[in-house]
């Protein structure tokens, strides 16, 4: 039986290698043609952003397009995954119940999209879970194929794509990610190998708050890589004359966000006689999130790791924002390289959230000042214009030769 398994594994490997070689040979003419077929302005390369269908990617695409870049935003998703607004290219698996048909047609569709894109983009800006070929036998070779076609490749993280959980040095981060993402702990070695491969193959790696913990290297740092729509979101500054303090919290992962501690802190403060209430918002549309956030005085974002999209939205709305303090050795890097030292949010942890909320309750005269400072910070550093400038610095670092 053991010999049979060994032979079966060997045969599968031979078949897979044959399939990979066949696919690479079939792509070769297109790779060669794409290397010498470019209409790109060297000062303003055509960009592809991909390939995970999340809001932050669509926002980056909008910001860069507004700055004058030619952009294609694309994603790979399951057939029943709804296509979000802002994506131009959509590669999905077939719904066939037969796994061989599903994989075969899915691979064919991905390869066709990959070939078409070769003639439409010069620089590929990809998350660390890969590009259009991520669900095909060519996933390990995609960046090298792009380089053969003369493309430049920039990699950056959004979250779980760049976490090798058991390699994270900061114990609280390691424990919370293990609790919220146990499946990624089981895949730690695969993720680690993928990060090493991308670090070796890509031209540039961009790191950001929290998400650089296990990157093999970084070439450029940002606080966060995506913008918030300051040109569309009107601030609603907190009114200190309101009797009840409204705290808004919208967790997508309760452990990472520190939800239990926020609930406890609000309850204990209320029991002590402070007029305070919590609006806990889950599983609603972004439109509803922003609507309810606008009615709050305080946004409690996440207590365990830096700030992210929700905090940017809260600052754009002019709210008092509470978010998690990072370990000093982590923040030192960003204090040196980014505008982190200017950030006017209220930093808190699971141990200090009650104290921070009490400080806010005791200083109503500062509410407007704090809200204005937050709004000005995102206008300077996280607007569409600021984000486009940050990404332009990345593109300026790329080699000019094709």
pLDDT at 8: 66
Euclidean distance between CA atoms 305 and 308, whole angstroms: 9
Q: Residue range 339-365: average pLDDT? A: 95
Q: Is 86 left (phi over 0), alpha (psi -120 to 50) or beta?
A: left
Q: What is the pTM of this model?
A: 0.91
d(CA 126, CA 360): 40
Residue 216 structure tokens: 């093999």
| Mean pLDDT score across all residues of the chain | 89
Question: Which residue spans of the chain are classified as CATH 3.40.50.2000?
Answer: 245-382
**Cα separation of 27 and 138, whole Å?**
11
pLDDT reported for residue 386? 97
C-beta separation of 335 from 247 below 8 A? no
Provide the pLDDT for residue 41. 47
Which phi and psi angles does 176 have, rounded to 5°? -70, -40
pLDDT of residue 22: 84
pLDDT digits (tens, 9 = 90+) for 42-84: 557 899 999 999 999 999 999 999 999 999 999 998 777 777 7
Instruction: Give the integer Cα–Cα distance in Å for 328 and 326.
Output: 6
Grade residue 336 by pLDDT with cuts at 50, 70 and 90: confident
Q: DSSP labels for 266-300? A: HHHHHHTT--EEEEE--S--HHHHHHHHTT-SEEE
Q: What is the largest CA-CA distance in the chain?
A: 78
The phi, psi pair for 137, rounded to 5°, reads -60, -15
Q: Could you tell me the CA-to-CA distances from 225 to 61, 261, 268, 379 in Å, in that order?
A: 11, 28, 36, 15
Choose which CATH entry (3.40.50, 3.30.1360, 2.60.120, 1.10.150) describes domain 41-227+388-396: 3.40.50
Least confident of 77-81, 121-125, 146-150, 202-206: 77-81
- CATH superfamily of this structure's domain 245-382: Glycogen Phosphorylase B; (3.40.50.2000)
For residue 259, the tally of other CB atoms under 10 A from its CB is 20
Q: What is the mean pLDDT of residues 225-242?
A: 97
| Contacts for 355-362: CB closer than 8 Å, 24+ residues apart | 356/322, 357/247, 357/265, 357/266, 357/269, 357/276, 357/298, 357/300, 357/322, 358/269, 358/274, 360/245, 360/297, 360/298, 360/320, 360/322, 361/245, 361/269, 361/274, 361/276
Averaged over 377-389, what is the pLDDT? 97
**Cα–Cα nearest to 139, from 74, 218, 201:** 201
In whole angstroms, what is the distance from residue 124 CA to residue 49 CA? Answer: 6
What's the rounded Cα separation, in Å, for the pair 258 and 356?
Answer: 14
């Amino acid at each position: 039986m053991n010999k049979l398994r060994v032979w079966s594994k060997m045969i599968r490997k031979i078949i897979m290698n044959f399939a990979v070689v066949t696919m690479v040979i079939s792509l070769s003419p297109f790779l060669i043609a794409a290397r010498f077929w470019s209409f790109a302005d060297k000062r303003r390369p055509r960009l592809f952003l991909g390939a995970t269908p999340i809001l932050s990617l669509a926002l980056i695409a909008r910001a860069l397009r507004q700055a004058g870049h030619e952009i294609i935003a694309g994603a790979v998703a399951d057939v029943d995954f709804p296509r979000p607004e802002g994506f131009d290219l959509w590669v999905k698996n077939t719904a066939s119940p037969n796994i061989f048909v599903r994989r075969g047609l899915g691979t064919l569709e991905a390869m066709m999209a990959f070939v078409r894109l070769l003639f439409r983009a010069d620089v590929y800006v990809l998350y660390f879970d890969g590009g259009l070929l991520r669900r095909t036998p060519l996933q390990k070779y995609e960046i090298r194929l792009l380089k053969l076609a003369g493309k430049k490749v920039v990699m950056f993280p959004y979250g779980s794509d760049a976490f090798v959980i058991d390699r994270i040095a900061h114990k609280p981060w390691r424990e919370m990610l293990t609790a919220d993402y146990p499946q990624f702990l089981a895949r730690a070695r695969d993720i680690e190998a993928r990060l090493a491969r991308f670090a070796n193959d890509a031209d540039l790696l961009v790191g950001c708050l929290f998400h650089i913990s296990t990157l093999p290297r970084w070439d450029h740092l940002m606080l966060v890589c995506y913008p918030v729509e300051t040109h569309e979101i009107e601030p609603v500054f907190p009114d200190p004359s309101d009797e009840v303090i409204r705290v808004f919290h919208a967790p997508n992962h309760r452990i990472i966000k520190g939800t239990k501690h926020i609930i406890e802190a609000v309850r204990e403060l209320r029991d002590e006689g402070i007029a305070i209430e919590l609006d806990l918002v889950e599983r609603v549309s972004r439109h509803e999130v922003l609507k309810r956030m606008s009615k709050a005085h305080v946004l409690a974002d996440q207590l365990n790791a830096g700030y992210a999209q929700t905090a940017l939205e809260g600052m754009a709305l002019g709210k008092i924002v509470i978010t998690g303090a990072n370990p000093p050795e982590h923040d030192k890097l960003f204090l040196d390289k980014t505008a982190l030292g200017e950030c006017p949010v209220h930093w808190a942890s699971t141990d200090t959230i009650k104290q921070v909320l009490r400080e806010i309750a005791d200083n109503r005269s500062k509410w407007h000042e704090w809200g204005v400072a937050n709004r000005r910070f995102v206008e300077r550093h996280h607007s569409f214009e600021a984000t486009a400038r940050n990404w332009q610095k990345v593109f300026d670092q790329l080699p000019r030769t094709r």
